[in-house]
Structures are given as C-alpha cells and as structure tokens.
C-alpha cells in the first residue's frame, strides 16, 4: 500500500498540487488498509496522514503503519485547518465525484485561500489493474458463487418465493465465509425476468418460469458477481430461443476480451450478435464492468468507454435480452484480462439452459 500512496504523491507533484483529500471508502481502504467507519487520508508528495477520531486511533496505527495518524478532536475540516499552516497548504485536491456540495462549501469556508482542485478518478485508475493479492482475494470470492449456485439450484422449486430463494442463498454464502453481499441479490422470475435489476419479490415461482439469478459476495474486502438464468420446469419456447442468443453473445464478448483492446470493442462484439438476431432494442445496458473493492467500477464495457484493457483487470461480460411483460435472460461471468485472452473466474454451468424439475 505504501507504493500506492507514493503513486498518488507522485501524481500530485506532477500536477503541482500540495495535497489530496481521500474520503471515498474503497479508495481510502485501497491506499491505507484502514477499515474503520470514520476517517480520511491526506496525501502529499512527501508525507501522508490518516485522520480519524479517538475510537479508531489504535486501529489506524495497526492497519496503516505506512501512514502518520492524525487525531481528529472536533471535525475533519477543523483538523485540516489546523494542519494547513504546518504543511504550507495552498492547493488541495479532492474527489469531485464523491464529496458533496455541503462538504465542498465547508472546505472552502474553513480553508480560505486554499485552492480546491477536483481530481476525479486518480485512485480509481490505480484500482483498475489488480495485483497478485487482490486477484487471489477476488478468486476466492468468485469461487464461492459457483458453490452457491450449485446449492441454490437444489433449493429452487415451484411454490416458493423469490425472496425465499434470495434469503436462502445469502445464508448459505454467510455460512461459507462471506462477510457480506456485493449488492442486493437479483432474483427475477417469469415476466419479472424482464427487469435487469429485479430484486427479489414475494412472487411465487411457478412451473415453466424463467428465473434470473444475479448475485455476488464480499470476501477479504473484494467483490464478486455472476448471473445465471435457469428455468423451473419446461422452458417457454421464446425464453429458450433468446437464452441461446444471449449465450452466443456472451461467448463473442468473452472471445474479444484481451489486453490491448478497447472496452467498447468488447461491448460491440457481444452487441453485434444480439442485433443480428433482431433483439438489439432489448439489450439496453453495457456488456460489463470492472469488479474489485466495489462491484461496479472502471472500466465499463460499453460503447462510451474506450479504455484500453490491461492484463490484471477484472471485468464482467454480461449481455442480456429483456422482453417487457414476458421475461428475459442474462448470462454473466467475471474474468481476469490476460495478454492473449481472459481467464474465467466463475465456472457454473451455462452451455445448456438448466431445467430445474
């Protein structure tokens, strides 16, 4: 983590900025290892601090030995005001996509004469490429999804609710060692499967229902994400048809992933398949996204993101077709970008539409 902080310090020196305030939780953890609820980092080219209150001083000292610990006795901004003279602070970068209007105004009021400079995406850019320890943690988190999918398929049957499935799956994951969920599980059945983010409801699963399961957990602070679509009993012919179109699109997207290609080109590879089958208007979201400390992070595999993929990035590939009022299908895997392709991190069955009977 010391090297990560040094990279931010170097960036500040290049831009002629005295210091950067880091408050976004995932960014803060990435640079410090600090897991307390309250705290902020103040990074300069030469010195870096973690500012927190009495409750977390000992924890900060233990988790962030590469940082100086500055005790906050009043408010964070008051602490910054007290530190500014000793630091000769004239310019302060902040996370413009995280700090709200009230906080920005408070900084301006308490730090008169200090130029506030938005520096969006600086830490997030570092987070895009994972190191070995991060990839190991992510692999553990992803492997748990395969165990969860196998387990929950034995639990699913007609007559139970989407909520019951979601709860059972989360309990299983917790027993397996997950510290939390990456997001509220998506369990969408029958006509509700047309909702890309259809969180579990009290709808009762019926015979012949298509069922989309999108779930992820957190292990060692890192997220996972996978989607599978199954059918309870014989599948509706239309849903079976679009399942294999989506599967073809996902294969095309996975084949396109490798270091050196643009994120948008992966999206195009998957989208072209769905459009060729006449369902382009029913695929309204990007093909994927980065996964790490946050379940949705850069890069975005969409037509609007020309980020060049690099080895060590972790991304999802998740095309879908959603037919309003009738149902939908999404298939999602998470992969590690490599020099000549990608490596699957999720390996649950998908090559045939799974019928749960």
First to last CA, the chain: 50
> Do 121 and 138 have their domain in common?
no
Q: Are 232 and 191 in contact (CB under 8 A)?
A: no
Q: 57, 91, 126 — which closes off a domain?
A: 126
Residue 159 confidence (pLDDT): 98
Rounded to whole angstroms, how far apart are CA atoms 197 and 53?
38
- What would the pLDDT profile of 6-35 be if each residue is shown by its tens digit? 999 999 999 999 999 999 999 999 999 999
Number of other residues whose CB lies within 10 A of the CB of residue 164:
17
Are 22 and 71 contained in the same domain? yes
Give the pLDDT of residue 1.
Answer: 85
Beta strand 40-44 with 19-22: parallel, antiparallel or unpaired?
Answer: antiparallel
Task: Find the domain containing 44 and state its range.
Answer: 2-126
Asked if 335 and 345 count as a contact pair (C-beta separation under 8 A), the reply is yes
Residues 35 and 54 occupy one common structural domain: yes
Asked if residue 141 and residue 116 are part of one domain, the reply reads no
* CATH number of residue 349's parent domain: 3.90.230.10
Q: Are residues 336 and 267 in the same domain?
A: yes
Strands (E), the chain: 19-22, 40-44, 48-52, 68-71, 91-94, 115-118, 180-181, 186-189, 209-215, 217-219, 222-223, 226-232, 288-290, 297-301, 314-317, 320-323, 327-330, 333-338, 341-344, 354-356
Same domain, 153 and 111: no
- Report the number of distinct structural domains present in the chain: 2
Q: Which of 80, 109, 126 is the last residue of a domain?
A: 126
In this prediction, residue 75 carries a pLDDT of 93
Let me know whether 69 and 145 are in one domain.
Answer: no
Are 179 and 300 members of one domain? yes
* Residue 101 shares a structural domain with residue 245: no
- Spans in the chain with pLDDT lower than 70: none
Residue 312 shares a structural domain with residue 198: yes
Do 140 and 115 belong together in one domain?
no
User: Do residues 307 and 352 make contact, with C-beta atoms less than 8 angstroms apart?
Assistant: no
Question: In CATH, what number is assigned to the domain containing residue 22?
Answer: 3.40.350.10
Where a domain ends, among 92, 108, 126? Answer: 126
Residues 237 and 309 in one domain: yes
């Amino acid at each position: 983590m010391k090297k990560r902080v040094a990279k931010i310090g170097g960036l500040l020196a290049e831009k002629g900025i005295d210091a950067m305030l880091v408050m976004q939780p995932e960014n803060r953890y990435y640079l410090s290892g600090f897991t307390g609820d309250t705290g902020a980092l103040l990074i300069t080219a030469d010195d870096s601090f973690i500012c927190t209150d009495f409750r977390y001083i000992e924890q900060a000292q233990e988790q962030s030995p590469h940082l100086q610990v500055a005790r906050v006795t009043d408010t964070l901004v008051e602490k910054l005001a007290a530190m500014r003279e000793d630091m000769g602070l004239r310019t302060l970068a902040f996370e413009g996509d995280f700090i709200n209007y009230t906080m920005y105004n408070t900084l301006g009021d308490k730090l008169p004469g200090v130029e506030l400079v938005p520096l969006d995406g600086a830490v997030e850019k570092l987070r895009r490429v994972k190191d070995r320890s991060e990839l190991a943690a992510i692999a553990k988190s992803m492997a748990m999804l395969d165990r969860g999918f196998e387990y929950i398929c034995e639990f699913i049957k007609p007559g139970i609710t989407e909520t019951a499935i979601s709860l059972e799956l989360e309990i299983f994951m917790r027993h397996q060692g997950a510290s939390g969920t990456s997001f509220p599980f998506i369990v969408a059945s029958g006509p509700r499967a047309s909702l890309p983010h259809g969180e579990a409801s009290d709808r009762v699963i019926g015979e012949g229902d298509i069922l989309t399961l999108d779930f992820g957990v957190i292990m060692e602070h890192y997220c996972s994400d996978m989607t599978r679509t199954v059918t309870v009993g014989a599948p509706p012919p239309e849903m079976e048809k679009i399942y294999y179109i989506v599967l073809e699109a996902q294969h095309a997207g996975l084949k396109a992933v490798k270091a050196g290609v643009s994120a948008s080109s992966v999206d195009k590879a998957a989208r072209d398949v769905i459009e060729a089958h006449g369902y382009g208007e029913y695929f309204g979201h990007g093909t994927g996204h980065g996964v790490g400390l946050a379940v949705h992070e850069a890069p975005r595999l969409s037509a609007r993101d020309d980020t060049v993929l690099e080895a060590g990035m972790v991304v999802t590939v998740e095309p879908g077709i959603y037919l309003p009022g009738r149902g939908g299908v999404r298939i999602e895997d998470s992969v590690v970008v490599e020099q000549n392709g990608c490596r699957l991190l999720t390996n649950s069955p998908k090559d045939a539409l799974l019928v749960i009977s």
